[in-house]
Structure 1
Amino acid sequence: MMRLKFMILLTGISLLAIGSAEAQHLWWDTKKLNEATCLYGEVTVLATLHSIYYCGANWHPGEPAGGYCGIQHNDPKERRTIFSIWDTSPKLHPKVTQADPKTIFNRFGGEGEGSHTHMLWDWQVGETFQFFVRKQPGFAPGTTDTRYYIYELGSKKWRHSATITSPNGDKKSTASVATIGGGGLGSFLENFGGKDQDVPKLALYRLWLGNKVDEMKCLTQAQGDGTWGQLHDAYFLAEGKHLDALFEKLKEKHGAPVFGREGKKLGPISNKPLPKGLTKELMAIRQADKVQGK
């Protein structure tokens, strides 16, 4: 049931497509970082096909103002990055309050409702997509800003894609709205079109979580479902047949995979520090302009 709920809620795509969607998930051990408000992540896609969403992070699924972000292979000609937040409650809705000029934003509905943003983003196989999510008190009392930043390899600069501002609601909902820690934290690979499931897709995932930018800690343990495991000192998710041939092709550079299975615990990956100079970069990102939210 949880897996089906995950597939339905996370993309906001049509029910027709959802009916045949398939996904593999990672569930991260957040080391009891219940008050964490900062999340840095890396996703490296090693094999892909269109109609695939590589969710780097999905926090507080099914809870007030849960959210998700990542990269999508939308169709043969288009790739994008997505960042969205669900409603705090049926009557308390988030709004986009800051956005990059190239960010598209709107409300989404269907199974779950909230604020959706995306930006065309021509990420490439083999390149590491870097993202940063930060929650801070909003300008208006009783609100929380969730900011989404992405690193542009070409310019070697961070871009502020969007800020989504959520009403905190009551004391119980505020615990979810104002934090990234303290609830479920996952990553996933979803074939939202439900087609070409035999074609290999593969992505590596790493996350760092903390209360402050300079206190983020590497998350070293996760469990999963579907086809998952460890590769190149990271966790992987995969879909498709003939994965053995793909892993053999990648072996010289990435090593051999260690496969997990549902309910099985693998040993931790290494406790990597944040990339050198990253903390300073994250603290100095130029903020996007204010917008009239939807």
Structure 2
Amino acid sequence: MSVLKIAKTITMLLGFVVLNACKGTSSSEIEVNSIAYSYQIPPAGNSWVVSNHKHASVRIDQQGIQQWTDPSTKINTYVYLNDTGALQVGLNARVNQGSSTILVTINGQTKEVVIDNVEFKEVHVGSFNIDKPGYHPIEIQGVEKSGDAFAIIKTIGVGGLATTEGVTYVKDDFYWGQRGPSVHLTYQTPQDKDILWFYNEITVAPGQDVIGSYFMANGFGEGYFGIQVNSEKERRVLFSVWSPYQTQNPEEIPEDYKIIMLGKGQGVHTGEFGNEGSGGQSYKVFNWKAGITYKFLLKGEPSVNNSTDYTAYFFDPEEDQWNLIASFRRPYTSTYLTRPHSFLENFVTKTGYISRQGSYGNQWVYDTNGQWHELTKATFTADATARKGARLDYAAGVDSHQFYMKNCGFFSEHTPIDSEFERTPNGKSPSVDFSKLEVPTIK
């Protein structure tokens, strides 16, 4: 043990009273001022209802955990502990009236605490043994209450030997913290080639198709194309192109900077999008299935008056044909396809605690000389939520002929950002008859 760690440990031990956290201990029996917690974890950004979440009335926001009335509801608060040993836990909480009995479970150990104070105070729960570093959910569940709700919890305090080397949790930007880290693979392309087409395949294993997931296959310098899980009843194939005008509000885009729709496929909806840049968007409601491999084909080429046309096709193996999604023209842009990449993100905050994974395989590009090139090398990156260390549940790698990406779920092992991977080549270029692809026309 380092000198610094010994010093921190002594400081923590002096800051804690030795408490026998016996079952049913009342908050009035605890000398709260004698206890020091190294970290106060805000529920916003770190806590989720993990049972009965579709019908639970619990509200979790910057004011804490509120409107908690159902004893079947379990709430997990996720923290990453860099060390082992005793973890001291307290709840900065109060009741509206009466008293409540609450169970707190960490690493398979459960303690019971009674909250009977009507003003906020630190209610000590007890000491839990942490046997390995990593993510450890702090689970709370109501047992019984005499008031209208179990408690209002402002923060969860943690300290002790298990926090000696630090604790990772979401401290700010709670919306993005709840969505979880987005992850990307950028593919290495051949030098000095103009890329006209980009081909990719995605397979999502059963159980990994979590609501809120966007498995993006064909990303490029000006947009993205992939499949989403929008709800229990709806899934989409989504293709979007950003406007060159920088704004989060599509209504602010000047007319000459707007994305122009050149055509769309059968049953495809088109419109505008905002909040993550702005531009033209298209989607087709399509019940894609886990366990099936879907193919994506994207074309990008310079067009008239300093513009570029982008056209996306989706292959449904059950129909055995390529389907046009849409074709867009982007003004003030003259380029072939650049920066081919894929990503995996979650856009529904309520599912930010659930892990999901996608396999990305058989990447190829087709150049302006009519040659296919297989893309077997990729660099792994992640968004600001990951880079600033707010969440560590992100990973990527290679499984034989395929790359994979994984995010959310608070798994403990993560892949270093900027890691480079190389998959096994397939060696067989895609069988695409470009002459038979549907020509975009406005419908």
* TM tier, smaller: 0.7 to 0.9
- Do the aligned residues in 2 keep the contact of 1:201 with 1:240 (CA within 8 Å)? yes
Output the CA distance in 1 between the equivalents of 2:369 and 2:199. Answer: 9
Residue 20 of structure 1 pairs with residue 20 of structure 2:
no
Structure 1 residues 251-290: aligned runs within 5 Å: 260-266=415-421, 268-274=422-428, 278-280=431-433, 282-290=434-442
AA partner of residue 366 (structure 2)? G
3-state DSSP of counterpart to 1:287: coil
Are the structure 2 counterparts of residues 260 and 192 from structure 1 closer, same or farther at C-alpha, using a change threshold of 3 Å? Answer: same
Aligned twin of 2:38: none
Q: Distance in 2 between matches of 1:17 and 1:243?
A: 20
Match of 1:156 in 2: 320
In structure 2, the partner of 1:202 is: 357
The correspondence for 1:211, drawn from 367, 373, 380, is 367
Residues 181-214 of structure 1: per-residue CA shift (max 9 Å, x gap): 2xx3321111111333343311111321231494
1:33–1:241 CA distance, 2 compared to 1 (3 A): farther
Q: How many angstroms apart in 2 are the aligned matches of 1:86 and 1:163?
A: 13
Work out whether 1:180 is the aligned partner of 2:180.
no
Structure 1 gap ranges (5+):
1-14, 61-65, 245-258
Q: Which residue of 2 aligns with 1:71?
A: 227
Question: Shift in Å at residue 243 of structure 1?
Answer: 7.2
What TM-score, normalized to structure 2? 0.51
**Is the 8 Å Cα contact of residues 205 and 234 (structure 1) preserved in structure 2?**
yes
Evaluate the alpha carbon distance shift between residue 199 and residue 110 of structure 1 in structure 2; reply closer, same or farther with a 3 A threshold: closer
Q: CA deviation at 1:118?
A: 0.4
Report the CA distance shift for 1:118/1:195 in structure 2 as closer, same or farther (over 3 A): same
Deviation string, structure 1 residues 1-31 (Cα, Å, up to 9, x no partner) = xxxxxxxxxxxxxx99656322122122223
1:38 aligns with 2:197: yes
- Taking structure 1 as reference, are residues 34 and 86 closer, same or farther at Cα in structure 2, changes over 3 Å only? farther
Aligned position for 1:6: none
| Aligned: 1:220 with 2:376 | yes
Query: Is 2:126 the counterpart of 1:126?
Result: no
User: Is 1:86–1:115's contact at 8 Å kept on the other side of the alignment?
Assistant: yes
Which sits farther off after the overlay, 80-89 or 32-41?
32-41
Q: 1:21 corresponds to which letter in structure 2?
A: R
**What are the Cα deviations for residues 14-68 of structure 1, in whole angstroms up to 9, with x where unaligned?**
x9965632212212222335521210110111122111111112211xxxxx110
Asked if 1:58 corresponds to 2:219, the answer is yes
Check whether the contact 1:53–1:192 (CA below 8 A) recurs between aligned residues: yes
Q: CA deviation at 1:122?
A: 1.2
TM-score by length of 1: 0.75
Post-superposition offset of 1:216: 2.5
The change in CA–CA distance for 1:243 and 1:110 in structure 2 (over 3 A counts) is closer
Q: Distance in 2 between matches of 1:86 and 1:205?
A: 23
Contact 1:43 1:56 in 2 (8 A): yes
**Can you give the 5+ residue segments of structure 2 that lack an aligned partner in the other structure?**
1-172, 247-253, 382-393
Deviations 1:117-171 (A, max 9, x none): 0001111111111010012344x4433221100112222111111100122x2xx
Q: Residues 107 and 17 of structure 1: is their aligned pair in 2 closer, same or farther, counting only changes over 3 Å?
A: farther
Give the greater-gyration-radius structure (CA). 2
Structure-1 separation of matches of 2:277 and 2:302: 24
* Pairs aligned (count): 245
Please report how far the alpha carbon of residue 229 of structure 1 lies from its aligned counterpart in structure 2 after TM superposition.
0.6
Inter-partner Cα distance in structure 2 for 1:240 and 1:273: 33
Q: Which one of the candidate residues 215, 233, 240 is aligned to 2:401?
A: 233
- Do the aligned partners of 1:40 and 1:209 also contact (CA within 8 Å) in 2? yes
Q: 8 Å contact 1:214–1:279 — kept in the other structure?
A: no
Letter in 2 for 1:164: F
Output the CA distance in 1 between the equivalents of 2:352 and 2:183. 12
User: Please, which of 243, 250, 266 is the counterpart of residue 101 of structure 1?
Assistant: 266
Give the alignment's Cα RMSD to 1 decimal.
2.6
Per-residue CA shift, 1:63-109, capped at 9, x if unaligned?
A: xxx11000001111111110010112354221111011311011112
SS in 2 for 1:20: helix
Matched AA of 2:420: K
Q: Within 1, Cα distance between the matches of 2:416 and 2:190?
A: 21
Read off the aligned partner of 2:239 and give its amino acid letter: F
